[in-house]
Structure 1
C-alpha cells in the first residue's frame, strides 16, 4: 500500500502507523487531505488483492450486509462458519470476542447462528438418531425436531477426535457414523491360554480374561484338601502402561467451532 504521509500533502504529519487525514480549515479552502487517484487506487488495490487471494471475482453487486464479497473473502482466508478450532486461550471465546463456540454439548439457538446451522446440520433424515449437529425443541437435545429452535453441538471435553472414515478403511464403524458421533471406548481382545495339572485347579473360579476348561476325565483326581485350590491372575500392568481407561498419548486442549 502507499505511504500516506509521503503521498499526501495535507495530513496530521505523524509517521506510520499513526498517519491521519485532516479536514480543510474552511469552505473553499484546499488544505484538507486530498482525494486523489493514488488514494482510490490504493483502496481498490487492497480490496482486489483480498478478493484474488480468496479466489473470488467481482459479482457486480453492491457491498452490503448479506451480499458482501469482502466478508466472504476474509472468511475464506481466515475461517468460515463450521470450521473446527483448537482453543488454547484460557478465557472463553465469549470473553475474548472471537467468533468461536466451544464444543461442550450445548444447545444453541439457530436464529442466533444461522450460518453455522446451515453449514453443519446433519439433515432431516439423520436428525432422529445423530449424536450431534441435530435440531431440537429444547437446549438439552431431548425433544428432537427438524424444525426445532436449537442446534445441538457435540461435547468434545475429554474426548480425542477421529477423522470420519465413511469407507471404513480404518474405522470399522465408519460407514455408519456421522460428523460428531461418539464411538465408545474399546480395546482389541486379549486372549491367552495356559497348561496346568487339573487337580491343581479344582475348586477354583475363573477370573477376568481367563476361563477354566476341562478336557478328558477327572475321575482319578482327588478333591480333598484346601491346598488343591489355586488362583491364576492376569495383570496387564506388568508389561504395559495401564489406567482406568483405554487411551492414546494425548495433549489436553479445548475444541471449538467457528460461527
Structure 2
C-alpha cells in the first residue's frame, strides 16, 4: 500500500501554535483512507516535533557512537547503544555510552574488562547485569564469526544474545545507513500507533508487521525517532498532554486524557 496518490495534493503545513484559532476545517481533509489519515497525522506530529528537542533527538542511540571512529567501531558502538537502550531512558543510555567510550568501547576492550568493571560502567542502565552478560557473549561471537564486525542482516543481528527486532532494524538504519528494510517499533511507537488507530495490535512485532502495510517506505527510517520524541514530550505513556496536541485539537485523535491541562 502506498501514499503516492496523496502526495500530489498540496497540504498546508502549520507551525505548532497551540493558541491559534484554526479549526479542523482549515486543514485539508485527507481522511478518505487509512493511509490518508496516517499521512495527515504524520504532518501534524512533524509540526509539533519541528524543534527536535526531545531526549531521543539529543541523546538517542543515533548520537552515541563515535562518528570519528573507524567504520567497524562505529557500527559496534551503535549496536552496543541499542542493546543498552532497552528499558532505559535515553539520558541514562547516553551517559553509559560516554563512560564506555572513555574506558574503551571496542570488542577487544569489552572482552578484556572484568565482569564487575563492565557492570559498573553500565550501571544504572536497566538490567545492567543481564546486559553485561549479553555484551560479553556478543563480543565473543563477533570476534569468532564476524571478524570483529557486526552482522549486516536482520536475521544475523537477531541471532545475537539480547538483540531483538527493534534493535536489529535500527542497527541496520543507523550503523549501515540502509532504509526501507524494517521499522523500529518500541513501546512509544507501539502505544501511539494504537492510540491513533493506525493499527490494532497487542505486541510491537505485530505493530511493525501492520505498519509495513500502511506506512510509505520513505517513512520507515524516520518514524521511530518521530514518534519516540512525540511520546516523550506530548503523547506520554501516563498523563498525555492532549490539550497541547494538534492531533486532538484538529479532531485527528479521539483518545483523550480527561485530566490533561493546557500549558
Q: TM-score, normalised by structure 2?
A: 0.22
Higher helix share: 2
The structure with higher relative contact order (CA 8 Å, sep 6+) is 2
Higher strand fraction (1 or 2): 1
TM-score normalised by the chain length of structure 1:
0.22
